Structure 1
Amino acid sequence: MTVLAIDLGTTNSACAVWRGSEVKVIPNRIGELLTPSVIGVDQDGDILVGQAAKQRLITHPEQTVSVFKRLMGTSHRIEIGSLKLSAPELSSLVLKSLKEDAEQFLGEPVTEAVISVPAYFNDNQRHATKRAGEMAGLEVRRIINEPTAAAMAYGLHEQKEGLFVIVDLGGGTLDVTLLEFFEGVMQVHASAGDNYLGGEDFVNEMVEAALKSTGCDRTLLTRNERHKLHMKMETAKRRIGGEPQQLTFTVAGEEQALTVDGEWFNQLVLPLLLRVQKPIENAIRDAGISVQEVDEVILVGGSTRLAAVRSAVGKLFRRLPATTIDPDFAIVRGAAVQAGLIEKDAALDDLVLTDVCPFTLGIQAVEFVESRYVEVFCPIIERNTTVPVSRVERFGTVQDSQTEITVKIFQGESRNLSKNVLLGSLDVKVPANKAHEESIDVRFSYDMNGILDVDVVVNSTGKRYNRVIKNSPMDLSEEEFRKSLDRLSRLKFHPRDQEVNRVLLARAERLYESLLGDDRKNVGDIIAAFEGALSTQDEIIIAKARKVMARRIEEFDLEEWH
């Protein structure tokens, strides 16, 4: 049995397996360890996944989509060419691509997986992720929190004991987990985070500041111009800290100029850095410790490479954070450890993991306030409770002759129900009686996968009602799920054996659009030469031409965005 570990990221995804007492990160079909979480449709209607799709974000923005992880758990559908797909459907295409890469690499079928999610993903988002895995043909054995996975990679890698804080800042989400590692036990004490804070937000702030500083109206940007500006700012972000950068970009056909340096960037992202600090402080407070008690701070996620982020975290803890594992692969490496545990690998027999429920779970209740009943959120399982956990609370009727109680299940932290996430409901029949004479016991049981089991008992009759919250209000019904599978099965995919050629051509086409004069002509000649080699259908000729083309277009591509 092989269980595939998958880090399904906002900007990039990766997969790995546990093999021979170690983690093996799996290369994709073009030999890279990271697969961009980008989906595109080409001129023939074929689906493109990964680098080939990412290169077309600039040249074919209407036929390409990215950053859809942020829409997980919603009913929003995204237009891509002539298709309208949900975030789980788009994610399933990324997962399917990773699954195929793993099968090619391992030489065997892969049907089971561990998939990582942000610790602060709510129940709807977790179920959407699980659905995406099922659409890709995978049985999702475990949903694991990203910082917990990163901690597993670190704990196994360093074999240290103590109290650790994991700060995971990726492309689209921030997660913070405080855990303790001792005698082979990894115990999570607290988690916190922000599902709408990541590297993309730093780039978006740079884009908005660039437009504001040059007096440009953002509404005048074409979609193509917006993507090009975003690409330039992504490259500039990665180069912050060096010499000042002179950037040019186009708005409504007119060229604009801007100087970008470290001071400009640090002032610009200060509000975002304050948002980074807040979940860290929340996790420490929930765990009931001080920053002095933390033995080490570990940074994971590509966005923690930013000096401004490292400095902000370092100042909070008064020490330099640890970065001994490549931040891009810490999560997938830890997820592979979890996969090894599921496979019952002997090398992992001594490792025990505990986790926490990152959100408070409860129901709608009513309280009598100033001569009237007020609907409020009543917690049953508090956030950062160690899981698996089972808790019960008693509730009663509030009206004479009441025959039904609707148990509405929520997830969140606010007393105000409208600010929390509705997970589902359960209608419970009770005997007609005087107000407060009938009561029910509501038991919540929450497991390591984030699956909530709700068990309700009518105390006067002993009748039981049960609901396992697997299908959130935003989730698909079984019929909708089957229709989605049928729709996805009819999609055509670009042949994997031509993927490396497609990526090179897409990258060259992006360069051709961005260049002028002799440079543009030279790139055009490179494209024509490679297309000529492809037309021969001779693999030896194509391989030689591909090597030449890759070397030559590297001379023209000055952006680190690719």
Structure 2
Amino acid sequence: MIIGIDLGTTNSAVAIWRDGESELVPNALGEFLTPSAVSVDGSGQSWVGRAALDRMATHPSETVTSFKRRMGTESKATLGKRSYSPEELSAMVLRSLVDDVEAATGERPEGAVITVPAYFNERQRRATRRAGEIAGLKVERLINEPTAAALAFGLIDKEEREPFLVFDLGGGTFDVSIVEMFEGIVEVRASAGDNRLGGDDFDEVMVKLAEPKLGASDTLDRIPSDRRDALLQLAAEKTRCALSSANIATFRVTVDDEEFTTDIETQEFEEAAEALVKRLRDPVIRSLRDSGIDVESLSDVVLVGGATRMPVVRKALTRMFKRFPNSTVHPDHAVALGAAIQAGLLSNGDGLEEIRITDVAPFTLGIEIGMDDAYGGRIGGIFSPIIERNTPVPVSRMQSYTTSEDGQRQIHSGIYQGEARQVKNNVKLGELVVPVPAKPRGEIEVEVRFTYDTNGLLEIDVSVPASGYQKNVVIVDEDDKRSQKEIEKSRAALEKLKVHPRDEQVNIAAMQRAERCYEGFTGPVREYVGRSLDNFKAALEKQDPRIIADARESLMQLVDEIEANPPV
């Protein structure tokens, strides 16, 4: 059995594909949401979920939450007598969810589709995959959270939809994706996000707003700081949730049977959270810009994630998009339900035969290069993009580079993922070392091709035409438990992509037809066809299928018109 898991910052959920539909699985308490919380005492006894969260106020030093925010880092949390990595803590939550599925179905799942924020980098994705492996699961696929939500939204009525925006604000992360659905294809056009923005940040604002008004500073100062922070955090979350359905809520903290309260009004909370609300705009604008779609062309704005219940967020979205957002799907359940749909696809589930998902590269992939400055010097550590962010995957792109020094015998370059111009601010994935013939600078060309698939497998082909040297590098997670046979199957599928668009038959045929048209006329017609042909060749060098398809269609329409009504 393959299950779908929403591994969230605040809460997690699990769903299965059964009897032609996606179905949430309740935990031992009968709840669909399991808090992403872990507690371990000095004897090694552990609690996960609601029980762990309940211990936070009384045993804060033994309890941890929001560890998803630290995925892919060296951060450790000390609980009881040992330290735990974010992957290990996440694995404990995953195991709890697997136990719930076994209790509900009588079958222990072996595989899982696990969701990740669209803006997770490769290091964070690898850490999530490792968490699944630690939990005893074969991670069949990592799927972006907004993509999963789009699947759940799309299968409500299975109708085709013009581009819509998925706005996913959870407890610790924020994602935006532009999605289109047509002919059974769920196509992600662009994604953007902020891995350090979520409900937790609004809770911090709530604490800063309420704490000075409590009149409990002397009492709170007398208790350990970790317990103090836990009490305030729990109170803040409850107050924030209460403000989602009321204009005023009570912030309440109890210390040693003494209760301290203060009322928080919606308006003052919204004013205090204004800076966070402004941060929601940038990913939205970036995703629209990258997709080439304007706000007016969006058919819907779909809300996902528990933090989207906040009126301050919904008001901001209504102003931003000049319409009310769509809350058809359950904001807390959509991601898990979508993950189960993906699990059903992998298991050939009933009713899913005609659905196909296309996603995009969340970050730009490229290599490190050096550049000449305006004063005859050399600038090193510059990032040269090869596959730009939000390029549909699987994808293959090629760039050419030349040597930078006379007599250079080797090119040594890092492989990076990110958006910063300086490679030191991006994520390093590997290295390339390429021998080259010793010639004057700029004479030796090196061709570098990146090929990337939906599972995060990055294959790099390097060739030096002058010497015939070729090198192939595969970047995979060192803890990737896929068999060599499975990896080779992925590589074989990618091999079909390693053709430059100018060498594809459909583009060759288009250029030949346009060349014949050019040769058949003189004067202004020949000049017009020539310019259009040059534009098409320039589009081919962009290596973007959408740009190429549009340019080819325009070129063929021009040729059709000329041949149907040739000038006299």
TM-score normalised by structure 2 residue count:
0.79
What does 1:1-12 align with in structure 2 at a 5 Å threshold? 2-12=1-11
Distance 2:344 2:467 in 1: 46
Alignment partner, residue 90 of structure 1: 89
Equivalent of 1:429 in 435, 439, 444: 435
Distance 2:430 2:307 in 1: 35
Alignment partner, residue 289 of structure 1: 293
Distance 1:394 1:213 in 2: 62
- Residues 306 and 331 of structure 2 are in contact (CA less than 8 Å); yes or no, is this contact kept in structure 1? yes
SS of the equivalent of 2:101 reads: helix
Distance 2:92 2:214 in 1: 39
Alignment partner, residue 549 of structure 2: none
SS of the equivalent of 1:187 reads: strand
Distance 1:395 1:219 in 2: 61
Alignment partner, residue 379 of structure 1: 385
Alignment partner, residue 178 of structure 1: 178
Deviation, structure 1 residue 332: 0.7
- Residues 174 and 194 of structure 2 are in contact (CA less than 8 Å); yes or no, is this contact kept in structure 1? yes
Amino acid at match of 2:238: T
Alignment partner, residue 231 of structure 1: 234
Q: Which of the pair has more CA radius of gyration?
A: 2
Deviation, structure 1 residue 291: 1.0
1:137-190 alpha-carbon deviations (Å, 9 max, x no partner): 111111100001000010011323222100000000000001111222211111
CA, structure 1 residues 219+347, in 2 after alignment: closer, same or farther (shift >3 Å)? same
Alignment partner, residue 512 of structure 1: none
- Residues 210 and 251 of structure 2 are in contact (CA less than 8 Å); yes or no, is this contact kept in structure 1? no
Deviates more, 1:401-410 or 1:208-217: 208-217
Alignment partner, residue 366 of structure 1: 370
Deviation, structure 1 residue 267: 0.4
1:457 matched to 2:463? The reply is yes
Distance 2:213 2:419 in 1: 39
SS of the equivalent of 1:230 reads: helix
Deviation, structure 1 residue 274: 1.0
Distance 1:137 1:57 in 2: 27
1:340 matched to 2:339? The reply is no
Distance 1:105 1:356 in 2: 35
Aligned residues: 474
Deviation, structure 1 residue 35: 1.2
- Residues 403 and 443 of structure 2 are in contact (CA less than 8 Å); yes or no, is this contact kept in structure 1? yes
Distance 1:446 1:230 in 2: 41
Alignment partner, residue 397 of structure 2: 391
- Cα RMSD of the aligned pairs, angstroms, is 2.3
Deviation, structure 1 residue 373: 1.3
Alignment partner, residue 196 of structure 1: 196
Distance 1:322 1:396 in 2: 51
1:439 matched to 2:445? The reply is yes
SS of the equivalent of 1:180 reads: strand
Deviation, structure 1 residue 477: 10
1:498-518 alpha-carbon deviations (Å, 9 max, x no partner): xxxxxxxxxxxxxxxxxxxxx
Distance 1:400 1:68 in 2: 50
Q: Which ranges of structure 1 fall in alignment gaps of 5 or more residues?
A: 479-562
Amino acid at match of 2:278: L
Distance 1:255 1:16 in 2: 40
1:417 matched to 2:420? The reply is no
CA, structure 1 residues 259+85, in 2 after alignment: closer, same or farther (shift >3 Å)? same
Distance 1:82 1:460 in 2: 60
Amino acid at match of 2:188: V
Distance 2:209 2:479 in 1: 40
Deviation, structure 1 residue 209: 2.5
CA, structure 1 residues 329+246, in 2 after alignment: closer, same or farther (shift >3 Å)? closer
CA, structure 1 residues 247+90, in 2 after alignment: closer, same or farther (shift >3 Å)? closer
TM-score normalised by structure 1 residue count:
0.80
CA, structure 1 residues 429+29, in 2 after alignment: closer, same or farther (shift >3 Å)? farther
Higher relative contact order structure (alpha carbons within 8 Å, sequence separation ≥ 6): 1
1:222 matched to 2:225? The reply is yes
SS of the equivalent of 2:143 reads: strand
Distance 1:456 1:231 in 2: 54
Amino acid at match of 2:206: M
Amino acid at match of 2:246: G
Distance 1:476 1:13 in 2: 24
Deviation, structure 1 residue 222: 1.8
Equivalent of 1:448 in 430, 454, 464: 454
SS of the equivalent of 1:410 reads: strand
Q: Which ranges of structure 2 fall in alignment gaps of 5 or more residues?
A: 482-568
